A and B are shown apart, each in its own frame.
Chain A
Amino acid sequence: MAKSSEALRNPAQAGREFSAAAVKLAVLPPAHRLSLRAPESSVSALSKALGLALPNRPKTSAAKGSRMALWLGPDEWLVIDDGAKDPLEACSKVPALHSAVGISHRNVAFSVVGIDAANAINAGCPQDLSLDAFPVGACSRTILGKVEIVLLRTAEDQFRVECWRSFSDYVFTFLTEAARDAAA
C-alpha cells in the first residue's frame, strides 16, 4: 500500500507558448499575489512593510526587486511578487486598517513581447496603448475580448497580462489569434 498519494500539480497553461513574427507569448511563472485594500491613512505603514511606495495615481505602478504594486482603484492595489517572500506576511504585521487577501492562485499571468505586442492586445482591449497614453510602468484593470484582465506595461514592447485562471485558456488562445493577426 502506498504511504501517501501526492497529486501532480501543474500550473494552468504551464508550458504553453506561441511565437509569431513580431509577438511572442509565454506563460509567466507562478507568483505571490495580493489583493490589497486600504484607506489613505494606512498607505504609508503598508508601503513601509512592503518595501515599496504604493502608487497613489491612477494607472501607475511601483516596483522594487521582485515585488510590484499596481494601482487598480483609489484604495485598491494588486501586489505581485515572483520572489521567495510572500507580501501577505509583510502586511500581516501592519496594525493599520487594511484588507490583504492572498490571490496567488486566482490569477495566471502571460507575457506579450515584441514590436506588435500592443497591437496584439488591442485586438481585444479597447484602451489606448500608445506610449503617450500607456507608458512603461502603466497598469490598468481592463477588458480583453469578453474577460477582465489586469494589464501592465513592463517595457516599450512588453506587457504582462494577468487574468483569472479559469479564463486563462481563453486569454491565451485569444492572444495567439491576435498575435497571428498582428503579424499578418
Chain B
Amino acid sequence: MLLIRCPYCEEERPELEFRNAGEAHVVRSSDMASISDEDFEKFFFIRNNPKGVIFERWRHVHGCARFFNAARDTVTDKFIVTYKAGMPKPDLDKITDAPSAVAATEPPAKKKPARRAPAKKKDA
C-alpha cells in the first residue's frame, strides 16, 4: 500500500484514505465569458498525461477531507512532494531526495510534455 503524506495531517497516511482529483494548477479565467471556444476547451477538457512527473490534486477524503496538491511520478508511482492547496508549484530541482531524480534513467525532460492541442484554424 502506498503511503501519502497529507500536508494538513502532517504525516503519512494509507492510500485508502485518499482520492485523486485530477490535474493541479489549472487556472480558471477571471473573465470566462470573453475567452474563445478553443481556450475554454483547453481549460475545461484538455489535460496533461505525461509519462513522468505530474502535478495533481488529491483529497484526503477519509481523513481531514482537505484537497491538496502533489507531484507524482506516473512511471514509479512515487510521490515526490505534497503541498497545501493554493501554494505555488514547487521547484522539483530543489528537492534533493526526489525519487524520480534518483531513479530516472533518462535526463528529466525540460520541454513541455506533449499535449493534445486543438487544431489551429490556419492549419485547416
Please determine whether B10 and A141 come into contact, CB atoms closer than 8 angstroms.
no
A-B contact count (CB 8 A): 39
* B16 in the interface (beta carbon within 8 A): yes
Enumerate chain B residues within 8 angstroms of A142, measured Cβ to Cβ.
17, 62-63
Q: How many Å from the CB of B48 to the closest CB on chain A? A: 29
Main secondary structure on B side of the interface with A: loop
Main secondary structure on A side of the interface with B: strand
Cα(A1)–Cα(B63), bound, Å = 53
Interface residues in A, total, Cβ within 8 A:
13
Please determine whether B62 and A73 come into contact, CB atoms closer than 8 angstroms.
no
> Interface digits, A39-83 against B, CB 8 Å rule (1 contact, 0 not)?
000000000000000000011000000000000111010000000
Cα(A140)–Cα(B6), bound, Å = 13
* A148 in the interface (beta carbon within 8 A): yes
* B65 in the interface (beta carbon within 8 A): yes
- What are 8 inter-chain pairs, A to B, with CB distance below 8 A? A59-B11, A74-B8, A74-B66, A76-B64, A127-B13, A141-B62, A143-B16, A143-B17
